[in-house]
Structure 1
Amino acid sequence: MKDKVIFSPYQYTIIALLALTQFTVVLDFMVMSPLGDVLMKSMHIAPAQFGLVVSAYAFSAGLSGLLTAGFADRFDRKKLLLFFYGGFILGTLSCGFAHTYPLLVAARIITGLFGGVIGSISMAIVADLFVITQRGRVMGYMQMGFGASQVLGIPIGLYLANLWGWESPFFMIVGIALIIMLMLAVKLQPITAHLAWQHDKSAFIHLLHTIRKKNYRIGFAATALLSLGGFMMMPFGSAFAINNLHITSHQLPLLFMITGVATLFVMPIAGRLSDRMDKFRLFAFSSLFMLIVIVYYTHLGPHPVWYIMFLNILMMAGIMGRMIPATTLVTAVPEMQDRGAFMSINSSLQQIAGGIAAAFAGLIVVQKDEFSPLQHYDIVGWIIVGITMIALVMIFRVNQLVKVAAPPSAATTPDDPLAVKAS
């Protein structure tokens, strides 16, 4: 019987901690979409200005990733995670106290400087502690933070926003994050095995060595392309639902919750499929399925709320079905001594690409007044089609690199001492 790789008890702990961390970081970012309509009305800002609020986080996160990439492999990953998570908490707190448009932009910049690096540190930890045949499931569980943010975080945040103002969701995130940070400090063991592999004399040289590797640049390009589509649609999701699809502000939390519940079921399935079948095939099928739904959705007019929920579930299934295998493949590209730097640069380019996409979408989408339908949202859908087709080509190249570097039959590697095998 073929050997089966299972998780150790400590690995289960790591998965839970990283998933909880991702939950708060994703919630902080995702909550901007449902709050978009409220913020545009309360601060009297146009879609282009709100796109800048979203882009401010993305651009600062991208800059932070580049600045920290050279240092990412020179410190204990636990200490790095705690440092940046603490900064993220302070940035989120400042968002809650920002009562003007310039202050909100500044607060999002601070949050992005710290929050944007957390995902890359988490990915480096996953690559250090889990073999490639485990990572699909790990990614699926970690991405459950995305679904949980929609099931619990966003609906509760919107409910609090309706009661006490749009600032209250940020205070809620701070409270949850403080508890998770304490758990990380107590439960997470130091992660230092990569330090023995460091040979570069300076952080800058290490950064240059990472960028110069052709295979790494292919992975960077693939990740950047994957970010463009989601960032183009996301900022105006709630405004489109309310003003074009005629979803009420009271129905909006339910829409996010139902979509999130479905996502919680989809992501573990996608993770298991990613570990059991060809990752590129899963990515390609999910991408094509997603595009069909997106093109239809962005051309949609007023419909019953249950129909909008159904379409959102299908769209999220396509998005998660492609993100999990793609992310799993990209984590297999870097060598152990470069993982921190690779993940930081990768996350940086992802955020920068997303910031450009959000700002660009803000220039495409227009609204005559605060209560009129959004215009040109369908153009955004067609642009996503073109970007996704290019991303298919890039992920195919990443898939070829991974197959050459590590044959599919390999179950463990010397870099993964915590892997447990059971026949």
Structure 2
Amino acid sequence: MDIKASLNAPSEQVIILLMVLVQFINMVDYMMVMPLGPDFAKALSIPVHEAGFIGGVYTFAAACMALLLANRLDRVDRRLALLCCLAGLAISTFLATLATGFYSLIAARVAAGLFGGPAASLAMAIVIDHVPDERRGKAMALLMSAFPTAAVIGVPLGLEMAHWFNWQAPFYLVSVSTLFVMILIFWILPPQSAHLAAARKTPPFKMTTALTDPIMRQGLSITGTAIFASFLFIPHLSPYIQFNLGYPREEIGTLYMIGGLATYIIMHVTGRLVDRLGPVSITWLAAAGSLTIIFTGFMPPALWPVIVTFAGFMACNAMRNVAVQTTNSRIPAPQQRAGYMATQSAVRHLVSGFAVAISTLILTTNETGALEHMTSVAWLSVILTIMLPWQVSRLHRSLTLRKQQQTEKRALAT
């Protein structure tokens, strides 16, 4: 054992913080494209209702790369793989600033997705490696807090930079920030190769495992349902708020900041509640809140102020995702974590991209720029929102039974 390395090993909290930074950069890189849609659509002569495809291609590219690497991520040092992915993300995000039209911007976002997807999976696997089950809910909430933090800090800053300078400015900022995070990881995080020892005794993750293991299939299923319900709305929030609800463009950054703050608070409360009460009850609570927001904010007439609809949507979505991700984190063994998380990421990106495509095909833009047929999108989300708690309950029962069986086997062995 390397005593010096052991003494200098970063704490659990430091490791989580580093991975939160990775997720933050990834989330800003992805999230800022959606609210910036009206800006680069105008600059590059892209129809507003087609701007959602710019976000959608990122998700499909991330899914494809995650599927290609799922069988290999558990066979290498997670730290080295993460640094390679972040380097690719920095370069591809910079290339977006050179776009001159719809197709060149699409190409740059495809490249970003190829590296961003595996980076998120590796960050998740590293956190799961270092955090035991009894603190997993809180850890997942911290890791997923990158989303509201991006909404509070990253997206508003990107919107303001685009307003002050041009639409390329936020992409410059993300590229430089990614390089900074790479330096921190190289300097602080030791090699992450403990899972390789377990892989010598038990085979690492294979894609066929996710298809044949009923618990893994259930985990991927709840991920798909949660993401589909959310991404029917997410790419279209900015134009819907501006053109349908009449919210001024200059205040969109502030709106994302307030919504992100509400999400951040709810997410950390949810993480603690999941550890205490379990994910099933939290998923039912999130479903009730989501249905309320959908019926009162996305079906005419809108009954709440824009800020209530937006903040409520983001907070309920975050609550649902923490419960789903905590449940999923308990499924794979150590030598299967990166591969399973990559497969989950692929499902997340494929489903979100499919949801973006479906909602974009349903919606149309009228002469004022307002989105029509939002009620149809809302009803589709309602169906999925009602399905999710039942799915989580079923998976939770399967995990409990598996744990009991493993405990009985160990007792018999001793």
TM-score (norm 2): 0.91
- The whole-number CA distance in structure 2 between the counterparts of 1:213 and 1:47 is 42
Identity %, equivalent residues: 27
Displacement of 1:218 after TM fit?
A: 1.5
Displacement of 1:295 after TM fit?
A: 2.5
Equivalent position amino acid for 1:279 in 2? P
- The whole-number CA distance in structure 2 between the counterparts of 1:318 and 1:11 is 28
Partner of 2:332: 334
Equivalent position amino acid for 2:356 in 1? A
CA contact (8 A) 2:279 2:392 kept: no
- The whole-number CA distance in structure 2 between the counterparts of 1:56 and 1:278 is 35
Displacement of 1:87 after TM fit?
A: 0.9
Displacement of 1:300 after TM fit?
A: 4.6
Deviation readout 1:248-272 (Å, 9 max, x if unpaired):
1111111111111222222111111
**Superposed, which structure 2 residues align to 1:246-395 within 5 Å?**
246-300=246-300, 307-369=305-367, 371-395=368-392
- The whole-number CA distance in structure 1 between the counterparts of 2:394 and 2:41 is 41
Displacement of 1:373 after TM fit?
A: 1.2
1:103 counterpart = 2:104:
yes
Equivalent position amino acid for 2:316 in 1? G
Between 1:309-318 and 1:278-287, the stretch displaced more is 309-318
SS in 2 for 1:127: helix
- The whole-number CA distance in structure 2 between the counterparts of 1:210 and 1:373 is 42
Equivalent position amino acid for 2:312 in 1? L
Aligned length: 398
Partner of 1:65: 66
CA contact (8 A) 1:210 1:338 kept: no
CA contact (8 A) 2:27 2:150 kept: yes
Partner of 1:151: 152
- The whole-number CA distance in structure 2 between the counterparts of 1:52 and 1:238 is 14
Partner of 2:164: 163
Partner of 1:26: 27
Q: 1:400 to 1:105 in 2, by over 3 A?
A: same
- The whole-number CA distance in structure 1 between the counterparts of 2:49 and 2:157 is 27
- The whole-number CA distance in structure 2 between the counterparts of 1:388 and 1:299 is 15
- 4+ residue segments displaced more than 6 Å: 200-203
1:245 counterpart = 2:242:
no
Equivalent position amino acid for 1:381 in 2? A
Q: 1:206 to 1:299 in 2, by over 3 A?
A: closer
**Structure 1 runs not aligned, ≥5 long:** 1-7, 414-423
Displacement of 1:138 after TM fit?
A: 0.8
1:175 counterpart = 2:176:
yes
Deviation readout 1:179-227 (Å, 9 max, x if unpaired):
1111011111212121122259998x83334432222111112211211
TM-score (norm 1): 0.89
Larger fraction in helix: 2
- The whole-number CA distance in structure 1 between the counterparts of 2:383 and 2:156 is 33
Partner of 1:207: 207
Q: How large is the Cα RMSD of the aligned pairs? A: 2.2
Displacement of 1:133 after TM fit?
A: 1.3
Displacement of 1:47 after TM fit?
A: 4.9
- The whole-number CA distance in structure 2 between the counterparts of 1:232 and 1:315 is 12
Deviation readout 1:334-376 (Å, 9 max, x if unpaired):
122211211111110110011111011110110024x431101
Partner of 2:114: 113
Displacement of 1:301 after TM fit?
A: 5.7
- The whole-number CA distance in structure 2 between the counterparts of 1:28 and 1:72 is 23
CA contact (8 A) 1:295 1:378 kept: no
